[in-house]
């Protein structure tokens, strides 16, 4: 039965964000929801974990089929305490991380706390989805992200045991009205990089401080099989991601460069 499923939910914008509430709406469509999310914004935390300070967990909400806990750690901490302690004896059917305020396409997947949590969830042999909307505003319209989140989760549940394992999907939804979205594109991560600017200021005590800003440089703007292309052309971008960071092309080339004795 559909309502017998249990979906674990987390994010990096905190349990109080509008995107998190939208993610509860997505997950609740498929069963019971147990959520452990940061108690404050933890964007850009990637795979960071807390090892030098205690962590605190508190229940903030319990309603029909939904339990929500706030945790003082990072997004990956939330996953770890869920699967290694709090939910150790529970069967979880899917991990949903998000809905993130802002795109996690291209190299952003490396920095994102939302995707860090989704990737961590996949380590436990459970299908995991990181869901993001290409709109950073606190009051973003999540209608399209909710609709396409439901469609993608439904497809995963329908596939069942035929899914690859591990499986982690990086799903990004364009910031356009639902009626204007052209569909879903399975695609690859765009090659590109950020170049940062640091704005230097001084506080009233004369101490230097910095604000970080930056700009993304698309290294392949004309490629039509990437997540950035999909978003720019009105498609929901779905990229399967993996943790193996071995550069196999370089590994082969280095056979003639570095002697192995």
pLDDT (tens digit, 9 = 90+) per residue, 122-171? Answer: 999 999 999 999 999 999 999 999 999 999 999 999 999 999 999 999 99
Distance CA 245, CA 243 (A): 6
Distance CA 193, CA 204 (A): 35
pLDDT (tens digit, 9 = 90+) per residue, 175-185? Answer: 999 999 999 99
- Residue 198 maps to a domain: no
Output the domain CATH number for residue 104. Answer: 3.40.1210.10
Using alpha carbons, list the distances in angstroms from residue 258 to 219, 244, 245, 249.
29, 22, 20, 14
Q: What is the pLDDT of residue 260?
A: 85
pLDDT (tens digit, 9 = 90+) per residue, 49-108? Answer: 999 999 999 999 999 999 999 999 999 999 999 999 999 999 999 999 999 999 999 999
- Residue 77 maps to a domain: yes
Using alpha carbons, list the distances in angstroms from residue 186 to 65, 109, 237, 250.
32, 16, 6, 26
- Residue 205 maps to a domain: no
Whether pLDDT at 3 is above 60: no
How many structural domains comprise the chain? 1
Span 12-20, average pLDDT:
97
Whether pLDDT at 193 is above 70: yes
Of 182-186, 187-191, 213-217, the poorest mean pLDDT is in 213-217
Whether pLDDT at 1 is above 60: no
Using alpha carbons, list the distances in angstroms from residue 17 to 57, 81, 257.
18, 21, 51
- Residue 232 maps to a domain: yes
- Residue 87 maps to a domain: yes
Domain hosting 235: range is 2-191+221-256
- Residue 196 maps to a domain: no
- Residue 212 maps to a domain: no
């Amino acid at each position: 039965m559909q309502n017998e499923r249990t979906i674990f939910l987390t994010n990096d914008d905190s349990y109080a964000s509008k995107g998190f509430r939208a993610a509860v709406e997505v997950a609740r469509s498929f069963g019971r929801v147990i959520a452990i999310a940061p108690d404050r914004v933890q964007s850009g935390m990637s795979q960071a974990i807390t090892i030098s300070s205690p962590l605190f967990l508190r229940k903030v909400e319990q309603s029909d089929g939904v339990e929500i806990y706030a945790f003082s750690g990072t997004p990956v901490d939330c996953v770890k305490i869920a699967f290694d302690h709090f939910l150790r004896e529970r069967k979880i059917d899917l991990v949903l991380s998000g809905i993130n305020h802002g795109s996690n396409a291209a190299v952003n997947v490396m920095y994102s706390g939302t995707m860090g949590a989704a990737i961590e969830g996949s380590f436990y042999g459970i299908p995991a989805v990181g869901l993001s909307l290409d709109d950073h505003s606190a009051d973003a319209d999540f209608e399209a992200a909710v609709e396409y989140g439901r469609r993608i989760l439904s497809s995963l549940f329908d596939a069942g045991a035929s899914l690859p394992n591990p499986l982690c999907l990086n799903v990004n939804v364009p910031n356009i009205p639902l009626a204007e979205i052209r569909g879903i594109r399975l695609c690859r991560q765009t090659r590109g990089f950020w170049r940062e600017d640091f704005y230097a200021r001084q506080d009233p005590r004369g101490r230097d401080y910095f604000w970080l800003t930056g700009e993304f440089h698309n290294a392949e703007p004309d490629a039509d099989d990437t997540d950035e292309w999909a978003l720019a052309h009105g498609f929901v971008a779905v990229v399967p991601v993996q943790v193996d960071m071995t550069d196999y092309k370089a590994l082969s080339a280095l056979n003639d460069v570095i002697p192995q004795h």
